[in-house]
Amino acid sequence: MTNRERMLAVLHYENYDRMPCVDFGFWRETLDKWVREGHLEAELAANYSDNNDADFVIMQKLGFDFNWGGGVSCSNFLSPAFEPETLEVRPDGSVVRRDSLGLIVRTKPGVISIPAHEGSTLTGREAWEEFYLPKLTMRADRVNYEAIKRAYDNQAAHDTPVYIFFGSLYGNVRSMVGLEELSYLAIDDEELYEEVVATVDKLCFDCAEAMLRLGFRFDYGHFWEDICFKTGPLLRPSLFSRLCGPWYKKITSLAAKYGIDIVSVDCDGKIDELVPVWLENGVNTMFPIEVGTWNASIEPWRQKYGRAIRGVGGMDKRVFAQDFSAVDKEIERLKRLIDLGGYIPCPDHRIPPDAEWDNVRYYCDRFRHEFG
């Protein structure tokens, strides 16, 4: 079987010859450390990005079959993006600027952290219609056939399952408006709030439709959201269902007409309250499964939803910073979960700098031996 066939067989609860050994990429600092330790050539680390030639070489050296982030996309969000600009330099040296999403953020030289959020360009309907609507309308040039073909052919040539990226129905809205501003907007101007969400979602649908018409055989569909934190979602599940559920359904129903019946969503955080919304609207594969944060697992979801739900993730990558014995224990823990079916282990998020090269290689070797 090919990796593309294996992946689909696992997630369809069908027979397969072996479980694929899957990762989700590496932190840049991880690769730099492995270069210093002599495990990788500097050129490989410098040229790395998801599913490019350098990534395939690195995965081969370690023993991974493919990167779950193997997909193709188009310009299904703000286009053109906002032109970043400096708005203010404060006496303490901090810089206030408008970023590419239109957020007003503050950074300070020498401080490495997520920029502090200060505001949004979306101050009301006038700003929405002037600055955002023109960037969120469908145009033919959003779908670049040649770029999509190059990415698709390269991944298919390396036997990587290829997803079609359907975009983000709420996460991108939160990203461009800001969580606090979006929460106030939902109360202060409900009509505008719902119009913003519907506009972003319709663009995702229009782009999905245009990409599907290109004729490529995509293995699965994929959304990104990141709309949960450590105790639950950033909005009421009922509101998420009302605003975004119908658009999920439209996109997944369209995908089904093109033979795509596996659709995953990448949403960090405790997603349990949103899982029913996704399942009801055609999103059937959850990624990641945050085992390292609150001991999440595919097992209770399977008990609750049966075979309707699939999962990718849930491999506890913290063992990469420990020893072979810790890796052995993790392999043993994964056996029961794999036996449930419809589940592919994968390190949640990227492999971090505390990971030891030999431990990662050992994991891949043990994985192939136990699940080959």
In a domain, 298, yes or no: no
Check pLDDT > 90 for residue 247. yes
pLDDT, mean of residues 340-358 = 96
- Which sign does the torsion angle of CA 207, 211, 213, 214 carry? positive
Write the pLDDT tens digit of every residue in 110-140.
Answer: 777 788 899 999 999 999 999 999 999 999 9
- Looking at residue 291, what is its pLDDT? 87
**Quick one: 267 and 324 in the same domain?**
no
Per-residue pLDDT for 109 more than 90?
Answer: no
Q: Is residue 300 part of a domain?
A: no
278 & 331 share domain: no
Q: Do 7 and 99 share a structural domain?
A: no
Count of domains observed in the chain: 3
pLDDT in tens, 53-89: 999 999 999 999 999 988 999 999 999 999 999 999 9
135-188 pLDDT tens trace: 999 999 999 999 999 999 999 999 999 999 999 999 999 999 999 999 999 999
- Are residues 129 and 228 both part of a single domain? yes
Tokens of 364: 């891949």
> Do 145 and 228 belong to one domain?
yes
Is residue 181 located within the same domain as residue 267?
Answer: yes
- Mean pLDDT along residues 273-299: 93
Tell me what pLDDT residue 77 has: 97
Q: What's the rounded Cα separation, in Å, for the pair 20 and 22?
A: 6
Buried b vs exposed e over 184-210: b needs ≥16 C-beta within 10 Å?
Answer: ebbeeeeebbeebbeebbebbbbbbbb
Could you tell me if residue 197 is inside a domain? yes
The strand pairing partners of 347, in sequence order, are: 315
Specify the CATH number for the domain of residue 156: 3.20.20.210
- List the single range of 102-116, 230-244, 274-288, 349-363 with lowest mean pLDDT: 102-116
pLDDT at 299: 95
Q: Calculate what percentage of the chain has a pLDDT beyond 90.
A: 92
Does residue 292 lie within any of the structural domains? no
Q: Per the structure block, which two tokens stand in for 142?
A: 């959003």
Q: Do residue 186 and residue 276 come from a single domain?
A: yes
Q: What is the pTM of this model?
A: 0.94
Q: 51 lies in which domain range?
A: 1-62+312-372
Q: Is 181 part of any domain?
A: yes
Assess if residue 53 is contained within a domain. yes
Is the residue at 159 inside a domain? yes
